[in-house]
Amino acid sequence: MIAEEKTISSELVFKGKIVEVRVEKAKLFDREVMRELVLHNGGVCVAAFTDDDEIILVKQFRYAFKEALLELPAGKLEAAEDHYSAGLRELAEEVGAVPDEYEYLGVLYPSVAYLTEKIHIYYAKSLHFGETHFDEDEYIEMVKIPFEKAVEMVLANEIKDAKTAAGILMIAAKRSKK
Amino acid sequence: MIAEEKTISSELVFKGKIVEVRVEKAKLFDREVMRELVLHNGGVCVAAFTDDDEIILVKQFRYAFKEALLELPAGKLEAAEDHYSAGLRELAEEVGAVPDEYEYLGVLYPSVAYLTEKIHIYYAKSLHFGETHFDEDEYIEMVKIPFEKAVEMVLANEIKDAKTAAGILMIAAKRSKK
């Protein structure tokens, strides 16, 4: 049986620049349960391809893991920002590219038990390259990887970022259907 | 250029049952930057298959999205808990199954910009079914889906949970290599 839970009360316990944390009381049948929620505006990432079928990844140090990770170019949404144009903006800023073809692949929920983040994934190709414009504090290295090799890297667990692994494998699965 | 950041100070701003939030000061070259971190013990999920090549998913209401989601059976790790045995435990509790074959597929990082969670993914088959033992507050419905249909559901974005989408597509990619 699927049990719906209705919010009774919500207490803001932390408000940061990236996340907000709430402790909520919810009604589950005739009982009250406590739920911890991390609220995040969500993000967008773009799987962009060169004309030689290389996928463009960015490598950057991630403080949460104290390691440099390979990722799809991505960014956080501002409140109520539209993810379609945010994806184009991130691709322009981090890769310096504007695509002729740009297609929505779908949305993923990174950690459903407590985190409200949704990450939208786009596919881009026929790129025109210009200049990059990084945010302050962003030190990013662009890497172009032949797509088949990128799939191998996901399967060898050399690409660990969930949005990047899922995005690459979505495209691989779509291609293998054709 | 990949810029490492070294922690200078760390302030605990929220300690809950599921997450802990810290605001840290880090050194980036000669500057100081603030980093918001959500700390989580990590989790494990299991892609388990029946002898008829159906993948076993669980459907449950997720409070963070106020919707019921299809997911791989999964659970949170206790501090320092070993994910191999935690995966077997979750499979026993949520599905009531013990596998003869059990294989590690890898680890994914759900949201690398601020969240320390790592989710480990296992593959299981040759299942022996017994009784389920849900945690209190868990209302879960088990669903068996032919694997090819599950891949279609990911591509149609009917499966939105990131660990589940990535796990299904990893197995699809491994199979298509053979």
Q: Which pLDDT belongs to residue B61?
A: 95
What pLDDT score does B79 carry? Answer: 84
Task: Give me the pLDDT at residue B84, please.
Answer: 98
Instruction: Note the helical H segments in chain B.
Output: 83-95, 147-155, 162-177
Q: How high is the pLDDT of residue A1?
A: 67
Sheet bearing B20-28, strands edge to edge: B6-15, B20-28, B31-39
From B71's Cα to the closest Cα of chain A, the distance in A is: 9
**B71: exposed, middle or buried (Cβ count in 10 Å: 0-12, 13-18, 19+):** buried
Span A38-91, pLDDT tens digits: 999 999 999 999 999 999 999 999 999 999 999 999 999 998 899 999 999 999
> Does the active-site annotation cover A67?
no
pLDDT for res A136: 66
Contact with chain B for residue A8, Cβ under 8 A: no
Q: What is the pLDDT of residues A97-138, one digit of tens each?
A: 999 999 999 999 999 999 999 999 999 999 999 887 776 667
| pLDDT computed for residue B176 by the predictor | 92
Flag whether residue A117 sits within 8 Å of chain B, measured between CB atoms.
yes
All residues of chain B having their beta carbon less than 8 Å from the beta carbon of residue A153 are none
Cβ–Cβ under 8 Å, residues B93 and B133: yes
pTM of the model: 0.96
Reported ipTM: the value is: 0.95
Tens digit of pLDDT per residue, chain B (178 long)?
678 999 999 999 999 999 999 999 999 998 999 999 999 999 999 999 999 999 999 999 999 999 999 999 999 999 889 999 999 999 999 999 999 999 999 999 999 999 999 999 999 999 999 887 776 667 899 999 999 999 999 999 999 999 999 999 999 999 998 7
Q: How high is the pLDDT of residue A11? A: 98
CB contact under 8 A, A63 and B166: no
State whether A169 and B170 contact (CB < 8 Å): yes
User: Which residues of A are less than 8 Å from B173 in CB distance?
Assistant: 151, 154-155, 169, 172-173
Cβ(A121)–Cβ(A45) below 8 Å: yes
- Rounded CA gap, A89 and B61, in Å? 34
Chosen for mutation from A76, A109, A134, A157 (greatest number of chain B CBs closer than 10 Å) is: A109
Positive or negative, the Cα torsion across B154, B157, B159, B160?
Answer: positive
Query: Which residues in chain B have Cβ-Cβ distances shorter than 8 Å to A25?
Result: none
Set A136, A138, A152, A158: catalytic member: A136
A-chain residue closest to B70, CA distance: A112
Asked if A161 reaches chain B (Cβ–Cβ under 8 Å), the answer is yes
